[in-house]
Amino acid sequence: MLPANIEIRDYLAGLIKQSRLKQNERLPSERELVEQFKSTRITVRDALSKLESEGLIYRSNRRGWFVSPARLEYDPSSRVNFYLLAEQQQRTPATELISKKRIKGPLAARTALAVAADEKLIELVRLRSLDGRPVLYEFIYLPESRFPELMKKNLEGSLTTLMQRDYNVEITHEDNRICVSAVYDQVADALAHINGAPCLEIRRIRYEGERKAVEFDIEYWVHSAIELRIPSH
Amino acid sequence: MLPANIEIRDYLAGLIKQSRLKQNERLPSERELVEQFKSTRITVRDALSKLESEGLIYRSNRRGWFVSPARLEYDPSSRVNFYLLAEQQQRTPATELISKKRIKGPLAARTALAVAADEKLIELVRLRSLDGRPVLYEFIYLPESRFPELMKKNLEGSLTTLMQRDYNVEITHEDNRICVSAVYDQVADALAHINGAPCLEIRRIRYEGERKAVEFDIEYWVHSAIELRIPSH
DNA sequence: GATTATTTCTGGTCTAGTCCAGAATGCGGA
DNA sequence: TCCGCATTCTGGACTAGACCAGAAATAATC
């Protein structure tokens, strides 16, 4: 006898795999499932969070649970920008600039960028969406000295393109660190997740030339929205 | 006023960050926390699963919750084997062979390896541990024709080394796909996780020569045990 | 027809327990 | 000293509700 929460999970997973529930379609409400399975909300929610962990469904705050669309395939080592990437996979991308600031910035960013004690960093916070669903919340740190007047530019497009065009930056290599983490507060709110929901975290340092770091990012991806693809030679 | 579950999370996260709770140390039991915070087990467990999602703690079935040790840093594109990797980071590795079979194997493996309809695959299932804690459950599929007599060999060591030494295999490149997923059944049991716990899933195809696939793996990592490091040039 | 207020429905959070299976421990007997 | 058994303790799974805030739909108003 399977635990009830696993039975509910299996039933819903079945519906999704047979496409009886389509991409972005709403699932029955928690209370409807309680009735259907003669169970309780705790148990139903157990089942739903398991499906969420697997990436089969996602939640939208107080609106319900929805079937996850196909994951965006993303190769962090290719320098393809977000717009191009999304369009190559028939998705509609969008970027919202949440904030831009001149600040001291977190220690991790200052260390990565090896800036002088008195130099300020530019912090950009952006929210990126696919087909209207927020999937990525990112913090970008740049040394002010390398990017004068950056604050005045359009910061919702591709940063790579902007850096190349206006500042003549050629990224020679980068270092990515990837782990499973969790989102809280502003990040959780923006991604329509609850506090503590799992996510894929990518921390990146970009270099121009052998040692000169010019960009430090922290990306929080809705975990069901992305699959990394890492070829190696 | 913060929700109670977040307060409990913050308190425990604080203890861990200040090292008042050390690596692999047991947390107070759920019932003790209930008393301490005048709350209920549901709420306490909410807090604990958030810490688990973040990777700060892990559970050991019916034994309690423990502080996660540092993540193993893993570069899937480097062909450093598990033993070497662990030892470089002052950890004690171990491998247990769960099963070895000659089977048809799953469609994904057959497709990846492009085997003929009548050819069998060798399936190896292994559990790997660090310092006595299971961290990785892996399924390995190999075309029998390329690896005769493999079933008779010692399969608990480095497969890369074995393939190289006994079968003259030189891996030229590989393709890794990485996503956040969840573990169930045998995998969940072995990793001392509950059904549906999040994990990092890596699917890999290894090639010798341009097109000849010789190995297909699916790895399930305890998500708090690993950080991927992906340099790019 | 457009705007605003109200109601309904949703998930988010929580209370206060119960029963169960497996892990750890300590005790008794061989 | 060692083995086996019983007890205790742990988390896992569940029942049966409650109240709240925000989203969506609907009704009322201008």
What CATH number is attached to the domain comprising A198? 3.40.1410.10
CB proximity A1 to B under 8 Å: no
Listed ranges A160-169, A182-191, B74-83; the one with the highest mean pLDDT? A160-169
Nearest by CB to A232, from B71, B173, B198: name it. B173
> If you measure CA to CA, which chain A residue comes closest to B75?
A177
* B57 occurs within a structural domain: yes
Distance CA A80, CA A60 (A): 29
CB proximity B4 to A under 8 Å: no
* B202 occurs within a structural domain: yes
| CA/C1' separation A29–D26 (Å) | 20
Nearest by CB to A53, from B173, B174, B198: name it. B198
Query: What is the rounded average pLDDT for all residues in chain A?
Result: 91
Shared domain check, A142 and A114: yes
Q: Which of B230, B25, B58 minimizes the C-alpha distance to A200?
A: B230
3-state SS, residue B132: coil
Cβ separation of A224 and B180 shorter than 8 Å?
Answer: yes
Nearest by CB to B177, from A42, A46, A227: name it. A227
**Residue A97: what residue type?**
L
* Dihedral angle over CA of A75, A81, A82, A88, nearest 10: -80
* A115 occurs within a structural domain: yes
Write down the pLDDT at residue B80.
85
**Residue B217: what residue type?**
D
Nearest-CA distance A152 → chain B (Å) = 31
Nearest by CB to B196, from A50, A173, A180: name it. A50
Task: Evaluate if residue A1 carries a pLDDT over 80.
Answer: no
| CA/C1' separation A206–D17 (Å) | 54
CB proximity B186 to A under 8 Å: no
Count of domains forming chain B:
2
* A56 occurs within a structural domain: yes
Write down the pLDDT at residue B233.
72
* A130 occurs within a structural domain: yes
Shared domain check, A200 and A150: yes
Distance CA A136, CA B78 (A): 28
Shared domain check, B33 and B20: yes
Nearest-CA distance B111 → chain A (Å) = 18
- By DSSP bridging, strand B226-232 and strand B72-74 are parallel
Distance CA A58, CA B208 (A): 39
A111 near A143, Cβ under 8 Å?
no
Shared domain check, A101 and A63: no
Task: Evaluate if residue A69 carries a pLDDT over 90.
Answer: yes
> If you measure CA to CA, which chain B residue comes closest to A200?
B180
Write down the pLDDT at residue B69.
94
Shared domain check, B113 and B35: no
Average pLDDT of each block of 10 consecutive residues along chain B (233 residues)?
A: 86 91 91 91 90 89 90 88 93 92 95 94 94 92 94 89 93 93 86 80 93 95 94 81
CB proximity A9 to B under 8 Å: yes
Task: Note the pLDDT tens digit of each residue in A191-225.
Answer: 877 777 889 999 999 999 888 999 999 999 999 99
CB proximity B71 to A under 8 Å: yes
Q: If you average pLDDT over residues A137-154, what whole number do you get?
A: 94
More confident of the two residues B76 and A31: A31
Q: If you average pLDDT over residues A156-174, what whole number do you get?
A: 91
Shared domain check, A85 and A199: yes
Write down the pLDDT at residue B61.
80
**What is the residue whose two structure tokens read 């003669």?**
A38
CB proximity B6 to A under 8 Å: yes
Q: Which of A67, A98, A86 minimizes the C-alpha distance to A187?
A: A98
Q: If you average pLDDT over residues A182-197, what whole number do you get?
A: 81
More confident of the two residues B197 and A167: A167
Radius of gyration of chain A (CA): 20
| CA/C1' separation B18–C14 (Å) | 29
* B233 occurs within a structural domain: no
| CA/C1' separation A49–C9 (Å) | 21
| CA/C1' separation B31–D1 (Å) | 37
Shared domain check, A139 and A87: yes
More confident of the two residues B196 and A162: A162
Shared domain check, B123 and B195: yes
Q: What is the CATH number of the domain that holds B49?
A: 1.10.10.10
Q: If you average pLDDT over residues A9-38, what whole number do you get?
A: 91
Write down the pLDDT at residue A13.
92
> Which nucleotide's C1' is closest to B2 (Cα)?
C13
Task: Evaluate if residue A185 carries a pLDDT over 90.
Answer: no
Distance CA A175, CA A215 (A): 11
Q: Which of A95, A198, A180, A108 minimizes the C-alpha distance to A138?
A: A95
- Count of positions (residues) in chain B: 233
Shared domain check, A52 and A144: no
DSSP string across A214-230: EEEEEEEEEGGGEEEEE
Q: Residue A95 is part of which domain span? A: 72-228
- What are the chain A neighbours of B108 within 8 Å (beta carbons)? none
Across B205-223, b (16+ Cβ under 10 Å) vs e yields: bbebeeeebbbbbbbbbbb
D chain positions with any atom within 7 Å of a protein CB? 9-18, 21-24
Asked which of A36, A67, A98 is the last residue of a domain, the reply is A67
Distance CA B198, CA B53 (A): 7
Q: Which two tokens stand for residue A116?
A: 């002088």
CB proximity A176 to B under 8 Å: yes
Express the helix, strand and coil content of chain A in percent, nearest 5 each.
30, 35, 30
